[in-house]
Structure 1
């Protein structure tokens, strides 16, 4: 197993299981199966709505003696509605309770977006709408500076609830500003990265600053077809360059894409609901891509972002909410 090393010296497996869009009734058995295969890195979030079931899967594996807790690296994320400092610990403790854990290995700010608070007892996960039953429901912002949220995240480390903290969906400017003010530097950045969105400057910056990088959606468009956020023609799994290289190395296109991500020095967290795919995704450490093959894949970059609030918030949540422009 290849690993990335964080500034603290913590080693994180280069491949993990992303839990976004895994059905609740499949999550527990899938997490246990993943642990049996050898997965130790799991990427969860309040917003995914399946942390209780993920926790059940972890408990099954622990009870069966498949793994010890300290061998796992469990990530969760602070949702947008909990950015006010007084809500951060409550949100973290809710995820811990749902996952059945005493601590998280990594806790991330999910988006650089602060929304109006929705009490847990009213609706959980809160989602994007402030009031989904309103005549014209929208995403409603709250005026919370990122550093205020970050200070509360730092207090989670002090309290021993989380080992490390980081961010998702941040660009270089936000990272620079955060680093300039932080007492605890971000350990990890999680962002969308694949050959259509290589984000080379962002990746280089993180490497120079010793910030680990986790690539979500490392296969590209696959998770977005059913959400009408990508066209079938955008699939990297059928791109001639990827298919050709897969034949050269006697691997599947998915394995080539994941190997490309790992060789760039990122961790990758592909999602799968099928055990055979979990195994396929995991088997990427007994081959490598040549410099030429890496360059060919990197050359596919189009700056194509599938997970963009500037697009999906308007289409799905009646609110124009760009964050990357």
Structure 2
């Protein structure tokens, strides 16, 4: 059996891997069920009920406005002495669409669901990647493996390849099932209108960027755990980034009135990658005056190309450092 097949089999057969994948699928199922339960299709019955609610609200507000005008005529001081400008309900403001329950619009709402899928799968890839190599180091399995495969870089790179290919396969299958599931929800509990070829292309490109996020997360978890030779090293680094370099750094930069402080935070870069761009506004700087739009604060746009380059560079540095230490450090 080839080394790659052996590593892929080891990864797939691990109880930890199966547990986390199952946990992720359960979470995704609960999210889909919640969306389906909270949305309703705009059937004639639903529209009629909403119109009846709109009519009742209009009649109630008309009565309230008439009562206010009568009270104002007797006690104008309670209404500021201006009874002529009291609010009068307009029939145009009471349309059925404003009283209808929410419905799942595939074109408008599915991108958010796609980002949810990518974020959850990226978390799973990070944890599984860290555990996959971290458990080998902490249990002594890496040393035993190198006894019959004394090729350090090849062994570690094959493990990484097995992780990335498996993560890619899981993400593709989950993405296809996720899209089909929400297409069904939109048909039964919402609408699939306005799904033009351009809309499908946009969703497809967002899905590809989500795949990239999953692969980068898996590579980072793998690299950090290999550097620390323990699963806890990667998890500790992740917690440190979230707690110290996100919440703590955000507070410090905001108090220091740093320019474009959001550009130093990870969520801004993830949003730029997934949404193609993210605009950071500096409200602490003097505004740029324009004769047409007035005083506007300066902005900084983070593009998806820049965000992708940063993510790729960080992943290459971490994985490269793991390969370098694997080559030079003592295995025992």
Task: Identify whether the pair has TM-score above 0.5, normalized to the shorter chain.
Answer: no
Compute the TM-score of the two structures, normalised by the length of structure 1: 0.27
> Computing the radius of gyration over CA atoms, which structure comes out larger, 1 or 2?
2
Q: Which has the higher strand share?
A: 1
Q: Which has the higher helix share?
A: 2
